Amino acid sequence: MIRKSKIKTLDELHRRKKQVRMETELAKREFAHSIGTTRGNAGNFLLKKVAAPAGGAIVGLMFLNSILGSGKKQPVIRETKVIHEYPDGTPYTPGRRRHSKRSRVKTFTGIIGSLRVLIPIIQAVVGAFQTHKAKEAAQQAKSASARR
């Protein structure tokens, strides 16, 4: 509640502060109550308004399908022979891989992709090594200047 307050004394301020605390506590309790009510109502709503009609529709469709589709059974075709050959007619021999331009391109693309990942890692390692080497050189120079 937004009001233009006309608080002029300390007692009025304390009364208003107490009133604001009570309003806040009341709002918290009403919010908690509404959440509890919403949870209970949501379950009933989903069960009665969503799940029951959807389940009924599915059962009805299955029933209609079984009644209308009972005379139309499709024959099952079973393939017993498997032909091992490539689309161009060359026979397949196990253990021997067939290399095509596409497989070479895939291999090349895979190598490029892995390099895209590895190069930043290698750069980070080299940079850390160079940083470590520079720190050692600085320490040696510092110790050498301290000896003089």
Is 80 exceeded by the pLDDT of residue 13? Answer: yes
Of 13-22, 50-59, 87-96, 134-143, the poorest mean pLDDT is in 87-96
Q: Is residue 22 part of a domain?
A: yes
pLDDT of residue 38: 78
pLDDT tens readout for residues 99-135: 566 677 788 888 888 888 888 888 988 988 899 899 8
DSSP state of 39: H
Specify whether the CB–CB gap between 1 and 26 falls below 8 A: no
What average pLDDT does range 84-89 have in this prediction? 74
C-alpha distances out from residue 53 to 40, 43, 58, 62, 93, Å: 20, 15, 9, 14, 57
Q: Give the domain extent around 126.
A: 110-142
Count up the domains in the chain and report the number. Answer: 2
Residues 114 and 63 in one domain: no
Q: Return the number of other C-beta atoms located less than 10 Å from residue 33's C-beta.
A: 10
Structural domain contains residue 1: no
* pLDDT for residue 18: 94
pTM of the model: 0.30
CB 98 within 8 A of CB 86: yes
Q: Which residue has the higher pLDDT, 22 or 5?
A: 22
Characterise 136 by phi-psi region: left (phi > 0), alpha (psi -120 to 50), beta (else): alpha
Q: Is residue 29 part of a domain?
A: yes
The verdict on residue 87 lying in a domain is no
Residue 96 forms part of a structural domain: no
Is there a domain that residue 18 lies in? yes
Banded pLDDT at 96 (limits 50, 70, 90): low
Q: What is the pLDDT of residues 17-73, one digit of tens each?
A: 999 999 999 998 888 888 877 777 777 777 778 788 888 888 888 888 777 765 556
Q: Rounded to the nearest 5 degrees, what angle is found at the Cα of 23, between the Cα atoms of 21 and 24?
A: 65
pLDDT at residue 86 tops 80: no
Tokens 């919010």 sit on residue: 31
Alpha helices in 3-87 (DSSP H): 10-45, 52-68
Please give the pLDDT value at position 73.
64
